[in-house]
């Protein structure tokens, strides 16, 4: 199902590479003339992380033996040069360690030599096959000068030091005066694609599990690495002689996939995983990609809005809520039927994690786009809570939720399985994970501080519980007689009273944790302290606070304050606390501050 969805994406997209080709980032170009003389280096880097992409023959699959790409590769292949050729920095003082280090460097240099010879041999094979091709003739003459002569010429270029800092990045060639690079040469590309077809035609045809059609099968699938995985990590792979082989079948023959289908799904996944992709987001070690099944205005808007909801970066600096508001607007129009969608239009979400030499699928969901829109809207509704901060910021996205439950907001420190559990709750409209709720409580107790995201998350968790018969509202609910909610309101009243009378809120720092778990142990003392705080206020304020305290206390049972609040009522305590504080700041705008 996953591979078929990726395969379909390729065939409905118009921006992906044609079969046999791929867009590849090239960091530097070696510019030569038609006689193979080196002229200069060209820098194709956009910034420290990105380089310009070129449409080149698809990269080869590598194991232990060297295999060269078509007229592009890393510096080990193209120049017989890697970090092993650079001067040794901070050599070990110990003679034995130095000897081990030098032996390792020597092995790397020998490996460079094998890679370089393989690349030169590939150039010669192409030159023999296309002797009249000017680009290949120039490359033939360039490598005919010898590696030492080539390196000596390059080292005179002003960009050589920059190249030495990027030796693992890709390098290619361009003939001076030509607008395209050599791997884009039309005659070369056609020859490569034709030879690819001839090679596959000689192989036995079998039924592809993705398309259901007969075709030559791929033996090794293309790597589609993610952050944290090996560079050779694949979505489909079988380890030989490790219990994965069946009925004498080896490698990819355990799950036969045709070359065309393999190219389509790997090209799609690579496209979705690219650095600038707006169909991907990462949380800790997890990488998620998503896409709509159909090319339509609604599908594209759903993808864009979902990216805005999940993205860590906020594009709107003047009004951070603007992105969330637009997301809600688009999904409302889809769910209500204002924007027409086909009944079979779907939304796909694929979660991946690094797992040795493979990619682990940790989440997969195929959901009708209208149902998906409804689930997102339900999440917004459950997370909606009054916001009395001066600088309002989004708090309903996954990053905001997860950062609220980690120390210093570091999402990378979140529990390993929590991100997919939260995302599953949002996508499928099921109860939020208990681990998220308990993490909110732990962070509040550790910091003696509530935040907008924490309180909203606890409200959302509690409202989705099946045993919650009195749903928590967005704003203050004076009809809610839940003991935890009432105690939270009273604590907020006593804290605000202290702040109005003395300008401090020391009771929050000293008593918040105890009040939210064992109210009977602290509220008697707090009520006595409030009498002293009232002495510093004017008469109207005294009357206001006394009336409010009595109104809240009257909502408790005749037994008074409970000795202990269970885990759910502890959450309701903080929601009631937040609601009552919001009511105070709503009535007294001059006291409003930047509450987190």
pLDDT in tens, 100-115: 888 999 999 999 999 9
Q: Which residues contact 86 (CB under 8 A, 6 or more apart)?
A: 164
Highest mean pLDDT pick, 11-15, 61-65, 175-179: 175-179
Element (H, E) at 320: none
Task: Give the separation between CA 121 and CA 123, rounded to whole angstroms.
Answer: 5
User: Is-contact 144 37, C-beta < 8 A?
Assistant: no
φ, ψ dihedrals at 207, nearest 5°: -75, 130
pLDDT in tens, 406-424: 888 887 788 878 888 998 8
Task: Give the separation between CA 505 and CA 508, rounded to whole angstroms.
Answer: 6
Predicted confidence band of residue 243 (pLDDT cuts 50, 70, 90):
low
Maximum distance among all Cα pairs of the chain, rounded to whole angstroms: 101
The predicted model scores a pTM of 0.79
User: Is-contact 75 47, C-beta < 8 A?
Assistant: no
User: Is-contact 138 34, C-beta < 8 A?
Assistant: yes
What are residue 40's DSSP bridge partners? 31
What DSSP state is assigned to residue 554?
T
The mean pLDDT value for 539-547 works out to: 92
pLDDT in tens, 321-330: 556 677 888 8
pLDDT in tens, 131-149: 999 999 999 999 999 999 9
Predicted confidence band of residue 522 (pLDDT cuts 50, 70, 90):
very high
pLDDT at 476: 94
| CA 464 vs CA 143, 274, 382, 420: distances in Å | 68, 36, 8, 18
Task: Give the separation between CA 80 and CA 239, rounded to whole angstroms.
Answer: 31
Mean pLDDT of the chain: 88
Task: Give the separation between CA 499 and CA 10, rounded to whole angstroms.
Answer: 61
Task: Give the separation between CA 419 and CA 24, rounded to whole angstroms.
Answer: 31
Task: Give the separation between CA 297 and CA 340, rounded to whole angstroms.
Answer: 10
pLDDT at 593: 44
Q: Per-residue pLDDT for 590 more than 70?
A: no
Task: Give the separation between CA 240 and CA 226, rounded to whole angstroms.
Answer: 23
pLDDT in tens, 434-492: 999 999 999 999 999 899 999 999 999 999 998 877 899 999 999 999 999 999 999 99
pLDDT at 311: 63
- Least Cα distance to 231 among 223, 221, 239 occurs for 223
Token reading at 465 = 């519980």
pLDDT in tens, 148-195: 999 999 999 999 999 999 999 999 999 999 999 999 999 999 999 998
Quick one: three-class SS letters along 6-27? HHHHHHHCCCCCCCCEEEEEEC
pLDDT at 385: 93
User: Is-contact 382 464, C-beta < 8 A?
Assistant: yes
What DSSP state is assigned to residue 51?
B
* Three-class secondary structure of residue 464 per DSSP: coil
pLDDT at 236: 86
Task: Give the separation between CA 123 and CA 70, rounded to whole angstroms.
Answer: 8
pLDDT in tens, 353-384: 998 778 999 999 999 988 999 999 999 999 99
Q: Which residues contact 488 (CB under 8 A, 6 or more apart)?
A: 516, 572, 573, 574, 575, 576, 577, 578, 579, 580
State the Cα torsion 376-380-381-386 to the nearest 10°. 180
Task: Give the separation between CA 69 and CA 83, rounded to whole angstroms.
Answer: 20
């Amino acid at each position: 199902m996953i591979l078929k969805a990726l395969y379909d994406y390729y065939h409905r997209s118009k921006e992906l590479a044609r079969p046999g080709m791929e867009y590849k980032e090239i960091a530097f170009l070696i510019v030569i003339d038609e006689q193979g003389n080196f002229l200069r280096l060209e820098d194709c880097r956009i910034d420290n992380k990105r380089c310009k992409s070129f449409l080149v023959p698809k990269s080869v699959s590598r194991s232990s033996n060297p295999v060269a790409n078509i007229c592009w590769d890393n510096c080990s292949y193209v120049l017989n040069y890697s970090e092993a050729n650079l001067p040794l920095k901070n050599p070990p003082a110990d003679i034995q360690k130095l000897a081990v280090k030098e032996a390792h460097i020597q092995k790397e240099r020998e490996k460079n030599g094998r890679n370089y010879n393989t690349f030169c041999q590939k150039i010669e094979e192409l030159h023999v096959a296309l002797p009249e091709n000017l680009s290949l003739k120039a490359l033939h003459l360039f490598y005919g000068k010898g590696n030492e002569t080539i390196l000596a010429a390059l080292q005179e270029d002003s960009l050589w030091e920059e190249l030495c800092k990027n030796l693992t990045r890709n390098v290619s060639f361009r003939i001076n005066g030509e607008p395209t690079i050599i791997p884009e040469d039309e005659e070369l590309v056609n020859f490569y694609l034709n030879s690819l077809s001839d090679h596959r035609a000689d192989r036995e045809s079998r039924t592809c599990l993705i398309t259901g059609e007969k075709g030559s099968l791929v033996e090794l699938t293309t790597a589609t690495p993610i952050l944290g995985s090996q560079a050779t990590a694949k979505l489909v792979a079988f380890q030989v002689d490790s219990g994965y082989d069946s009925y004498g079948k080896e490698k990819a023959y355990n799950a036969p996939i045709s070359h065309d289908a393999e190219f389509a799904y790997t090209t799609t996944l690579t496209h979705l995983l690219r650095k600038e992709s707006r169909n991907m987001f990462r949380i800790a070690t997890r990488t998620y990609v998503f896409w709509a099944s159909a090319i339509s205005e609604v599908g594209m808007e759903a993808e864009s809005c979902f990216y805005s909801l999940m993205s860590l970066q906020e594009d709107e600096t003047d009004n951070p809520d603007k992105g969330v508001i637009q997301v809600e607007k688009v999904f409302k129009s889809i769910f209500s039927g204002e924007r027409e969608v086909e009944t079979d239009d779907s939304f796909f979400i694929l979660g991946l994690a690094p797992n040795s030499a493979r990619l682990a699928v940790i989440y997969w969901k195929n959901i009708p786009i209208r149902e998906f829109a409804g689930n997102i809207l339900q999440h917004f509704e459950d997370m909606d809570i009054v916001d009395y901060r001066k600088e309002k910021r989004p708090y309903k996205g996954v990053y905001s939720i997860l950062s609220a439950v980690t120390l210093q907001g570091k999402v990378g420190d979140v529990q390993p399985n929590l991100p997919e559990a939260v995302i599953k709750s949002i996508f499928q409209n099921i109860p939020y994970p208990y681990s998220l709720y308990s993490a909110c409580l732990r962070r509040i107790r550790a910091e003696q501080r509530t935040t907008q995201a924490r309180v909203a998350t606890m409200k959302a968790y509690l409202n989705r519980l099946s045993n919650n018969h009195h749903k928590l509202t967005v704003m203050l609910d004076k009809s809610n007689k839940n003991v935890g909610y009432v105690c939270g309101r009273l604590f907020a009243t006593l804290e605000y009273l202290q702040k109005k009378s003395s300008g401090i809120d020391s009771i929050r720092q000293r008593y918040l944790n105890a009040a939210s778990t064992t109210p009977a142990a602290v509220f008697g003392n707090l009520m006595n302290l409030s009498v002293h705080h009232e002495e510093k206020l004017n008469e109207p304020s005294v009357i206001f606070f006394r009336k409010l305290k009595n109104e809240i206390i009257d909502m408790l049972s005749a037994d008074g304050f409970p000795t202990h609040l269970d885990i759910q009522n502890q959450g309701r305590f903080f929601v009631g606390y937040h609601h009552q504080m919001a009511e105070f700041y709503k009535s007294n705008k001059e006291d409003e501050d930047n509450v987190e």
